[in-house]
Amino acid sequence: MNTANDASGAPPSKTARSAAAKPAAAKRGGWAAIIAAGGSGARMGRPKQMLPLGGKPLLFHSISLFAGMQEFGEIIAVTAPENFPAVEREFGPAVKLAAAGATRLQSVKNGFALVPQSAEVVAVHDGARPLASAALARAVCAGALQSGAAVAAVPVKDTIKISEDGKTVLSTPDRAQLWAAHTPQCYRRDVLAEMFSRFPDAGDVSDESQLAERAGFDVALVPSAYENIKITTPDDIAVAEALMKNERCSEMPRVRVGMGYDMHRLVAGRPLILGGLAIAHGKGLLGHSDGDAVLHAVCDAALGAMAAGEIGIYFPPTDLTIMGISSKAIAEKTLEVLASMNASLSQIDVTVVAEEPKLMPHYGAVRKSLSEIFRLPLESVSFKAKSAEGLGPVGRGEAVECHAVALVTAR
């Protein structure tokens, strides 16, 4: 594989300077990513790049991060040659390959040799940091476009002790000034080229940003996330698996439950409407609308699942302009409210309590009507009726009541 040309380095500037700022906006495909994955895995006990994590090799997570971002027109994975076939099978020509060097810095140089001159910014990322986000990568690259160099980092949470012999404490630095460096670390292409040119033999650095510091560039700090861990020991694999599982759970739709209730008087001279269906009977339900207790209860259940109030808020009984309104319009408004909250109705279970009429012969028709009104599959709609056994106004045939439970899926 090609490696970058080395040149004799000039002494570092003693006066910090910022690279000339460039606009933070990125043209499509104008960025490049180098994924360094050439470590020996000494602390892991074996090379870690291809260890399974979340159902795929560790290295693939970092490659996938940049492959999924349209800003990156070039992605270079720097790893051991024996890993090349697996990467090629998974990503094909979308990913260029470079052989890892003896040190991290040499590996990054090998990858940089494949970065085109047209690249605006170069992101260097550890192949062992599988949980970095696209938002973080964009933020660090934007910082690099502005200042020349930028590093993802988090404030140190622990108190740090300095010791020369590993046995006694020499001093305790001010924790408020300490940040733990993560990747990606991003650089304008010309800045990274200058760093490598000026310090061709730097073997005492653990990341490229130290060369930027020596060269006198201002290195911007971009807040990272503590979850952006580096896989170094076997314990880290377990931690990463747990974090990935938690992330998947947080992205899963939430199922919320609501309960609705309604009751209307049975009176002569009104049509009986239940679940949007006209049912032949000598009496109907009295109400400001068409009195459909079933639709009212279901709508209240759906709104309640999202803590979005109840139908009286949207259709107040004091509004004479909606006198006699079809409850199908109330149902449509309920679905609109759910949609505005990124939620949708998933299932309903309805129980009507009435002495008359007998509703069992209408079960199928009401279920079909409800499935059409709420745009649900028939198997997600339950409708049934019970008797009040002669007790109370319902038992005396003076009223009909309805109970409903709704499952709502929220994202």
The DSSP bridge partners found for residue 83 are none
145 and 167: one domain? yes
134 and 205: one domain? yes
213 and 67: one domain? yes
233 and 265: one domain? no
DSSP 384: E
SS3 of 90, please? helix
Number of domains present in the structure of the chain: 2
298 and 397: one domain? yes
**Separation of CA 148 from chain center:** 29
Query: Burial, 163: exposed, middle or buried (Cβ in 10 Å; 0-12, 13-18, 19+)?
Result: exposed
246 and 264: one domain? no
Q: Does 393 map to a domain?
A: yes
Domain extent, residue 302, equals: 254-410
C-alpha span between 215 and 199 (Å, rounded)? 9
72 and 209: one domain? yes
- Residue that terminates a domain, selected from 204, 228, 251: 251
C-alpha span between 300 and 281 (Å, rounded)? 26
Nearest to 71 by CA among 190, 184, 231, 223: 184
* 8 Å CB contact between 293 and 400: yes
Per-position pLDDT tens, the chain of length 411? 333 333 333 333 333 334 444 434 434 478 999 999 986 555 555 567 888 888 889 999 999 999 989 899 999 999 999 999 999 999 999 999 999 998 889 999 999 999 999 999 999 999 999 999 999 999 999 999 999 999 999 999 999 999 998 899 999 999 889 999 999 999 999 999 999 999 888 777 888 899 999 989 999 999 999 999 999 888 888 888 888 887 766 556 789 999 999 999 999 999 999 999 999 999 999 988 999 999 999 999 999 999 999 999 999 888 888 888 999 999 999 999 999 888 999 999 999 999 989 999 999 999 999 999 999 999 999 999 999 999 999 999 999 999 999 999 987
